[in-house]
Structure 1
Amino acid sequence: MPNPTVVTDVEDRFRTLNDAERRLAGSLLADAWEELLAPRNVPDLEDRLGRDVVSVGLVRRVVAAMVIRVLRNPEAIRQWQVDDASFTRDSMVSSGLLYASADEIALLSGPTTAAFTIRPGWRR
């Protein structure tokens, strides 16, 4: 299943992008989709979409949010100061990294049915 999120989904949630930002957003969308499908995130996301367990709208919202975090701060600037004024960005935005937050993963993964998880072979 291809990524259901397109550049216009990002623009609808953020702002109109210039040509360079549109190209970057296209690449970031592909990267975000691949990141979501990674084993540590939601590897069965395509199956969940196919079974209508997760809505396409929710997936678009999460993927667009991942991309917008990067577009808001592509240089990963955390803090800056000019004369007497200073500004500090929120750590969620300041990293400049493409990632899905724990809350976003939980939205796409759905509720857990077990009280705990047993992982055979794990030792300390």
Structure 2
Amino acid sequence: MDLRLNFVFIFASIVTFVFVMYQIRKQGLNIGDAIVWILWSVALMIVSIFPGLAVRLGSLLGFISTSNFVFSVFIFFIYIVVFWQMVEISRLKEKQKELIQRLSIKDYEQREKEKGGSGHE
């Protein structure tokens, strides 16, 4: 791998790591959500420091070009992130539905209580 490309990857991994840490500290990003990005920046740093690792892994898995292997890993990572977000969105939709149902029941009970209370006076 070209030395300039190694420096770009090192820079990108450091920027990603610093940005995620900033988001955790200042913006309140959930650590559970950020762990994937932290691990990704560490993995990118390892591949940047030891580029032969990507070459060996790529050839071991049958990739003709190391760049094809790197792109495949990036795409796989994006699929994992999208799937993880889809699961989280689904969970939040269910939670929202439950909260709406509870609020509707509470609102209904409050209206019934007001109807019953005003009729007895």
Please give the TM-score of this superposition, normalised by the length of structure 2: 0.32
Higher relative helix content: 2
Higher relative strand content: 1
Whose relative contact order is higher, 1 or 2, with alpha carbons under 8 Å and at least 6 apart?
1
- Which structure has the greater CA radius of gyration? 2
